[in-house]
Chain A
Amino acid sequence: MKVYSIHKLNKSCNGRSILDIDHLELEAGRIYGLLGPNGAGKTTLLNILGFLDQPTSGRLEFLGKAVRFQEKELLPLRKEIVVLDQYPVLFTTSVYKNLEFGLKLRKVAKAERERLIDEVLDLVDMASFKHAPAYNLSGGETQRIALARALALSPKVFLCDEPTASVDVENQAVIVALLKQINENKNITIVFTTHDRLLAAGLAHHTLVLNEGRFVSTSYENTFSCRIEPKEDKQIWCRISEDRGIFLSSPKVESPALKSRLFIDSQKIDLHTGQTMPGVTNCLPGKVVQLMEESGRIRVVVMVGFLLTVILTREKYDSLRPAIGDTVVVSIPQDAVTLSN
């Protein structure tokens, strides 16, 4: 069953398109990780899915019905969804009253409210805070109470804006475990935004990448700011770090700016074991710092003066078997590189 269907949805602000989605469908009971750099449109999309913001144009369907962005129509829809802010706020009253707020609005009976509040406080391991003032809690505790406040309402969809960004490692693990648990036990659809690919890979059933308001099939990783320096033989040098960069032929660049943005497609990068590859341009030696399995492929992060992500097929990985700390060489073909101003 589809929770959301999006068709040609656009959101513009001051004439600038900040979200432009041609087609997207989200299935019920799944966890979706929304990845992308700052300003990619992740939070805007989350707000539209949470009916807190409306698109400029396009069609959004919720549970098979087209959504009309009018206050009267949105109110019952909002009761099926909860959006959890990146930095959630609790009302300046007690923890109990915070948890009771949404339940009261839904006219849940007093005894049932009490039971639900106890249940969700147990779930987030904060039962002893039931009558504590909410304005004295730490960041991690606030995040957990905000999570409990949302869960008490048993929403069909739970939209989390960077749920672990504002908490320490201990609370991160608690929140990730909680999200998994509520998805499995209560079959709640979860959509969360993050910059953390590791979190997305570990938690999400599906990962979606937004870049400049559009869904892209490639990773947003390997995007660097670079300084362009003209070289001989119609070549330019894209300096990424102090002594590392990439040579490109001039026709690749139409009107080179002094500073530019460079994107390297992680799937087109080649990885070799060993120290060097003589005679090949754009060969950068480095060390493997991270290995991760993701949807049947292997993500290798190599420190080549800057962190570069390489996606390997399972076969390629089996043939090379790189390990953490191994010295490797990455070769970057010209067609893997895109320059934008």
Chain B
Amino acid sequence: MDIFVDSLHSAILLVFALDREMLAIVMVSLQVSCVSTILAGLVGVPTGFFIALRRFPGKAMLITVLNTSLALPTVVIGLFVYAFISRRGVFGPLDLLYTQKAIVIGQVILIIPLVSALTIAAISRIDERYRRTAMTLGANRMQTAWVILFEARFGITAAIVAAFGRVISEIGISMMLGGNIKGFTRTMTTAMALEYDKGAFSLAVALGIVLMTLSFAMNILFHFFQGKYRT
């Protein structure tokens, strides 16, 4: 118990002192997670939108596959991407392994199904009358799609927030593809694991506090905007 109290005390001091090493790790984490989330959003939202609104053979099967891939372990993705970007892999010459780009690739693969599946759910919940209303007011297909997207904005934002939460807290991909290189690919989660291995809990707990605060802040922000439009 003493270890925990002491660590917590030191961690709080580190956070308030804005420790340089801690900030560098947080910045790497934020940078990688933001890029991954943006890329996954750019692919996942249109994919989910298309699947939700279009009728095509195998649609139910595709949604099942997407839902199943939500449970994909990060180490499996790490292993899979490693096979492609390691020296002997197809993309070996690009020298991507143990870079932030490698982490981004893995994280994008991890959260595209999440963003798509949650977008499908958000779009499917939109009342059919919005589509009909847009059409009868003279909207073409693109404009109607935009109306539906606008009405589903909170559900889609929730999908993005959830995806960000998933990548910022994952460790398997960051460790396997990033290599936990200090100041370069060391993220909050890989740093926490390393500090734990060293038996030095202060930085680990401090990073834990930052991680939880970030997630909390994201959700507070989301609920604030959502609350503005609640009837």
Contact = CB atoms under 8 A, between A and B. Distances in A.
Contact of A153 (B132, B137, B143): B137
Main secondary structure of the interface of B (DSSP, over half): helix
Given A92-B151, A135-B229, A52 B136 contact: yes
Given A92-B151, A135-B231, A105 B139 contact: yes
B133 A88 contact: yes
A78 B129 contact: no
B132 A91 contact: no
Contact of B133 (A85, A93, A133, A136): A85
Interface residues of A, number: 26
Contacts of A92: 150-151, 229
A93 B231 CA distance: 12
B222 interface: no
A85 B134 CA distance: 12
B127 interface: yes
A200 interface: no
B129 A91 contact: no
Nearest to B231: A135
Interface residues of B, number: 19
Nearest to A84: B136
Interface in A77-91: 78-79, 81-83, 85, 87-89, 91
Given A91-B147, A91-B150, A92-B151, A83 B132 contact: yes
B137 A105 contact: yes
A91 B130 contact: yes
A102 interface: yes
Contacts of A62: none
Contacts of B231: 135-136
Interface in B76-130: 127, 129-130
Most-contacted residue by chain A among B129, B132, B147 (CB, 10 A): B132
A278 B140 CA distance: 68
B141 interface: yes
A52 B135 contact: yes
A325 B143 CA distance: 57
B136 A78 contact: yes
B58 interface: no
Nearest to A83: B136
A106 interface: yes
A149 B129 CA distance: 15
B227 interface: no
B138 interface: yes
A36 to B, nearest CB: 21
Nearest to A53: B132
5 contacts: A52-B136, A78-B138, A91-B130, A101-B139, A149-B137
Interface of A: 50, 52, 71, 75, 78-79, 81-83, 85, 87-89, 91-93, 101-102, 105-106, 133, 135-136, 149-150, 153
Closest 9 A/B residue pairs (Cβ)? A102-B137, A83-B136, A79-B138, A105-B138, A89-B129, A135-B231, A102-B138, A82-B136, A92-B229
Given A89-B127, A105-B143, 18 more contacts: A52-B135, A52-B136, A75-B138, A78-B135, A79-B138, A82-B136, A83-B132, A83-B136, A85-B129, A88-B133, A89-B130, A93-B150, A101-B134, A101-B139, A133-B229, A150-B137, A153-B137, A153-B138
